[in-house]
C-alpha cells in the first residue's frame, strides 16, 4: 500500500501501479472473501461489494484516478481502468458502486468540486453511493421533455415530480437528478442537475424488480422536497451541458469496466463447461464471443486514453455502447445455451447467478440509450449519412 506522501510519484507510473496492484490482489488473502460470492438480493450484493470498495480504499487502490481534494490520490481515468481490469482478472467482482461512480463522479468533480470534496470520499470508502435520476415515465430518450420540476425559493430548491429506472435507486444515499428549472417550452435550455439526499422528507422510493426478480432499479417520487441551492451540479440552466459531459463516461469509461466484467464471465463459463460434452459449434460461438470482447476492448482503450488526455469524447462514444451491448448479450446467451438444463433448473448459487445475469443482460441494448438511438447518432453525427427523409 502506498501512503499519501509517496503516492504522487508512484501514481505517475501507470505500469508500476498495475503491476503492484496485480501482485497484491494475488497475495492478500483478505480478498478471498469476495471471490465466488453470490447473493439472493441486490441489496445484499451491493452491501457486500461496498465492503470490498472500502477495503480497496484502506489499501489505497481505488483512490487513484481521483483528485486529492475529493479523497483521491491523483492520476486519471487510466488508473481506474487498470483497477477494474485487475479486479476482474483476479476473479474479484468490480464493486457495484463503481458503475454509478464512473457515470456520476466525473461530472460532479468537474462541475461541482465542492460537492465532490464533501461527498466523494465517503463514496470511495464504500460508505455511500449515488443514483442517477434522468429518465421519467414520459421522458426516456427525449430528456429535453422531462417534467420533474425544481422551483427556487431563497437559498433552496423545492423539487416535485417523478423519476424512473434509477439504477441502485433502492439503496443509494444520494440522487443526482436532471430537473426542470425553466419553462416546458425551454426544452434542454431549462434543465439543471441537482444532488438530492435519498432520505430527505418528501422522497419516496419504490423498488422495481427486473425479470429475474431482483430490485435492480427504482421509481422515485419527490413531493415538495427541499434541497439547499448549493447542491447544484453546475449552474442553473446548465443541466444539458452536464448531461452531455456525463454521457461520455456513461458510454465510454463504463464500457471498459463492463468489458472486463464480461470477460471474467466468459472465463467462468469456460470453467463450468470444461468437462462436459458440448454441442457442435460451441467452440466457434465461444470464439465469436471472445472476438466481440477483443473488439470492444480495443475501441474502449482508445476512448479511455482520450478521456485521460482531457479530450471530449463526442458521438463516437455510441460505438463503445453498441459494442458493449453486443458482447454482453452474446456471452450471456452462450451461457444459457451451453449450460443447458443446469441453467434452467439447478438451484446452486452459481447457476442462480447465471440466470439473474442473463435476465439483466436483456436490457443491455436499452438502458443508457437504446441501440437504435445509438445507431442513429452514429449515422447522423459520425458517418454523416443522409437523413432518412433524404434517402
Strands 232-233 and 217-228: unpaired
250 noted as active-site residue: yes
CA distance 178 to 158: 14
CA distance 72 to 64: 6
Catalytic residue among 216, 250, 316, 328: 250
Q: For residue 55, give every residue at least 6 positions away whose Cβ sits within 8 Å of its Cβ, in sequence order, or none.
A: 30, 31, 126
Instruction: Please count the other Cβ atoms lying within 10 Å of the Cβ belonging to residue 49.
Output: 23
Sign of torsion over alpha carbons 76, 82, 87, 88 = positive
SS3 176: strand
DSSP state of 127: S
- 150 forms beta bridges with 159
Residue reference for cell 492520476? 75
Contact 175, 119 (CB under 8 A): no
CA distance 157 to 173: 19
Question: What is the distance, to the nearest Å, from the Cα of residue 312 to the centroid of all Cα atoms in its chain?
Answer: 19
Q: Which of 199, 194, 193 is nearest to 172 (CA)?
A: 199
Greatest distance between any 2 Cα atoms in the chain? 70
Q: Which of 124, 120, 77 is nearest to 252 (CA)?
A: 77
Count the alpha carbons within 13 Å of 88 in the hemisphere toward its beta carbon: 22
Query: What string of DSSP letters covers 230-296?
Result: GGEESSTT-HHHHHHHHHHIIIIIHHHHHHHHHHHHHHHHHHHTTTSPPPTTHHHHHHHHHHHHHHH
| Active-site residue set | 250
Amino acid at each position: 500500500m502506498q501512503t499519501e506522501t509517496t503516492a504522487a510519484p508512484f501514481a505517475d507510473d501507470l505500469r508500476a501501479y498495475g503491476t503492484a496492484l496485480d501482485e497484491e490482489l494475488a497475495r492478500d488473502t483478505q480478498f478471498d472473501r469476495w471471490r465466488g460470492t453470490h447473493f439472493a438480493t441486490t441489496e445484499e450484493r451491493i452491501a457486500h461489494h461496498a465492503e470490498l470498495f472500502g477495503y480497496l480504499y484502506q489499501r489505497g487502490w481505488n483512490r487513484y484516478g481521483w483528485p486529492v481534494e475529493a479523497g483521491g490520490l491523483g492520476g486519471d481515468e487510466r488508473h481506474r481502468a487498470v483497477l477494474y481490469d485487475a479486479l476482474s482478472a483476479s476473479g474479484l467482482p468490480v464493486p457495484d458502486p463503481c458503475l454509478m461512480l464512473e457515470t456520476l463522479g466525473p461530472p460532479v468533480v468537474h462541475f461541482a468540486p465542492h460537492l465532490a470534496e464533501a461527498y466523494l470520499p465517503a463514496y470511495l470508502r464504500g460508505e455511500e453511493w449515488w443514483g442517477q435520476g434522468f429518465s421519467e415515465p414520459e421522458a426516456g430518450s427525449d430528456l429535453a421533455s422531462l417534467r420533474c420540476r425544481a422551483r427556487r425559493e431563497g437559498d433552496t430548491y423545492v423539487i416535485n415530480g417523478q423519476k424512473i429506472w434509477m439504477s441502485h435507486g433502492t439503496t443509494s444515499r444520494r440522487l443526482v437528478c436532471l430537473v426542470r428549472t425553466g419553462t416546458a417550452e425551454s426544452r434542454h435550455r431549462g434543465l439543471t442537475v441537482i444532488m438530492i439526499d435519498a432520505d430527505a422528507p418528501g422522497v419516496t422510493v419504490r423498488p422495481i424488480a427486473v425479470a429475474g426478480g431482483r430490485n435492480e432499479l427504482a421509481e422515485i417520487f419527490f413531493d415538495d422536497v427541499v434541497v439547499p441551492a448549493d447542491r447544484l451540479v453546475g449552474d442553473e440552466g446548465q443541466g444539458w451541458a452536464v448531461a452531455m459531459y456525463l454521457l461520455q463516461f456513461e458510454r465510454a469509461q463504463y464500457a471498459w469496466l463492463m468489458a472486463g466484467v464480461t470477460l471474467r464471465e466468459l472465463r467462468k463459463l469456460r470453467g463450468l463447461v470444461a468437462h462436459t460434452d458440448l454441442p457442435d459449434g460451441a467452440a466457434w460461438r465461444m470464439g465469436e464471443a471472445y472476438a466481440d470482447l477483443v473488439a470492444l476492448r480495443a475501441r474502449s482503450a482508445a476512448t479511455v486514453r482520450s478521456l485521460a488526455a482531457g479530450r471530449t469524447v463526442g458521438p463516437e462514444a455510441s460505438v463503445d455502447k453498441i459494442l458493449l451491448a453486443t458482447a454482453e448479450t452474446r456471452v450471456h446467451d452462450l451461457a444459457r445455451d451451453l449450460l443447458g438444463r443446469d441453467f434452467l433448473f439447478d438451484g446452486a448459487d452459481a447457476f442462480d447467478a447465471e440466470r439473474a445475469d442473463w435476465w439483466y443482460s436483456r436490457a443491455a441494448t436499452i438502458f443508457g440509450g437504446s441501440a437504435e438511438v445509438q445507431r442513429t447518432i452514429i449515422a447522423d453525427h459520425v458517418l454523416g449519412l443522409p437523413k432518412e427523409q433524404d434517402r
